[in-house]
């Protein structure tokens, strides 16, 4: 059954616009408060749990370009584990979706503090200015889709902490300057499609933990730097294209 088009007069259109304006204004901003971190950048936060005093880092807008009208963080950045707002201390427990999306001018190393339990979708997508080490705190349980996609200049080894259960699709795609080993712990049960595609700088052996049951399409496509052995455990029942 096809729905018929509604005929709305001029007055009706004005009324609809009037009713939608508060919703449009509410969608324009994606944060509850902002604060300056120890390295001088203004960061934006959403309160996720008032009782437990938990917040997540977020981007300042939900529509248009995430940093439209705001100053993007640049230079070396220290992600805080706690932040104070209205004399209340909050724990930074998550890095939300698109929190630092396309912040090209972030540089140096990046440390995810131990307070963080999840890294959201595209949290650091295309932050290709980072040119140091990536250290992921040992409380992180999930790394979202595209979380570090195209962070091309991270160097050294990458150790996924043994708290991580899932690595999202394209999570580290095109992070091709890693020059050391890749460690995937037994806690990981899900490695998403193309998670490490194009990461051709890794060297040494690679062992897939026996907690993994399937390897998605293109998961390690283009990882031509591995020079040692590849071990796939008996737990793996499918390997993608």
pLDDT value of residue 228? 81
Alpha carbon 115 to its chain's center: 15
Number of CB atoms found within 10 A of residue 134's CB: 21
What is the rounded radius of gyration, in angstroms, for the C-alpha atoms of the chain? 21
Domains (range + CATH), the chain: 25-241 (3.80.10.10)
Cβ atoms of residues 113 and 93 within 8 Å: no
Cβ atoms of residues 202 and 180 within 8 Å: yes
pLDDT in tens, the chain (241 residues): 434 334 444 444 444 434 443 443 444 457 999 999 999 999 999 999 999 999 999 999 766 677 888 999 999 999 999 999 999 999 999 999 999 999 999 999 999 999 999 999 999 999 999 999 999 999 999 999 999 999 999 999 999 999 999 999 999 999 999 998 999 999 999 999 999 999 999 988 889 999 999 899 999 999 988 888 899 999 999 999 9
């Amino acid at each position: 059954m096809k729905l018929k088009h509604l005929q709305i007069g001029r007055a009706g259109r004005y009324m609809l616009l009037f009713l939608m304006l508060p919703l449009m204004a509410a969608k324009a901003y994606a944060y509850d408060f902002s604060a300056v971190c120890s390295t001088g950048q203004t960061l934006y936060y959403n309160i996720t749990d008032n009782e437990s005093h938990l917040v997540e880092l977020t981007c300042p807008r939900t529509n248009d370009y995430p940093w439209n009208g705001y100053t993007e963080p640049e230079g070396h950045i220290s992600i805080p584990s706690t932040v104070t707002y209205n004399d209340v201390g909050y724990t930074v427990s998550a890095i939300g979706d698109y929190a630092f999306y396309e912040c090209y001018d972030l540089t140096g190393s990046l440390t995810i503090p131990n307070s963080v339990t999840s890294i959201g979708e595209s949290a650091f997508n295309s932050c290709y200015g980072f040119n140091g080490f990536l250290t992921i705190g040992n409380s992180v349980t999930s790394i979202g889709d595209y979380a570090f996609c195209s962070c091309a200049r991270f160097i050294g080894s990458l150790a996924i902490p043994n708290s991580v259960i899932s690595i999202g699709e394209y999570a580290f795609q095109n992070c091709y300057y890693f020059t050391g080993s890749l460690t995937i712990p037994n806690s990981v049960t899900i490695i998403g499609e193309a998670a490490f595609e194009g990461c051709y700088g890794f060297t040494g052996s690679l062992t897939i933990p026996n907690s993994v049951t399937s390897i998605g399409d293109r998961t390690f496509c283009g990882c031509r730097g591995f020079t040692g052995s590849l071990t796939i455990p008996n737990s793996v029942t499918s390997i993608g294209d």
